[in-house]
Amino acid sequence: MTRVYVADAKPEERSALRLLVIDLKMEMAGEAADWLTTLAQVPVSRTDMLLVDWDLLPDSPGIALDALRKVCPTALVIVLISHLEARQQAALSAGADAFISKGETPERVAERLRAVAAAVPNKSPHLTK
């Protein structure tokens, strides 16, 4: 089962994403409302996929995502973006594996999550000893 960690400052958005993750038969690995909590919890959460709000990232998203990759190198990172223009390219070039627009319909978000989850290996490296 794909384990998903959600990092978003807005409780209502975390709640909506949590419900979507559960509806997709994925498991919640954890959630955070700020960047420092995310960096502290992600390494021990055994997450396969991390959904992180672009606005939660510090001023240097490339450095922030690099730090995230160092503490959780096997997780796929999906950046949630409110505006698509230049931020889309910035998220991908900053080290994200994918992006999802917050303006998408729940069905489209689910479709994108399924597509990214398909890239998660069947045997999670977090579960091997």
Beta carbons of 33 and 9 less than 8 angstroms apart: yes
> DSSP string spanning 24-38?
TT-EEEEEESSHHHH
Q: Is 101 exposed, middle or buried (0-12, 13-18, 19+ CB in 10 A)?
A: middle
pTM value?
A: 0.80
Domain annotation covers residue 126: no
How much is the average pLDDT of 70-77? 90
Determine the pLDDT at residue 122.
56
Domain annotation covers residue 20: yes
Q: Is the dihedral of CA 23, 26, 31, 33 positive or negative?
A: negative
| Whole-number Å distance between alpha carbons of 61 and 91 | 8
CATH number, domain of 78, equals 3.40.50.2300
Domain annotation covers residue 89: yes
Per the structure, the count of domains in the chain is 1
- Residue 35's domain comprises 3-120
| Whole-number Å distance between alpha carbons of 38 and 35 | 5
How much is the average pLDDT of 98-114? 85
pLDDT tens digits, 18-64: 999 999 999 999 999 999 999 999 999 999 999 999 888 887 888 88
Domain annotation covers residue 125: no
Determine the pLDDT at residue 113.
87
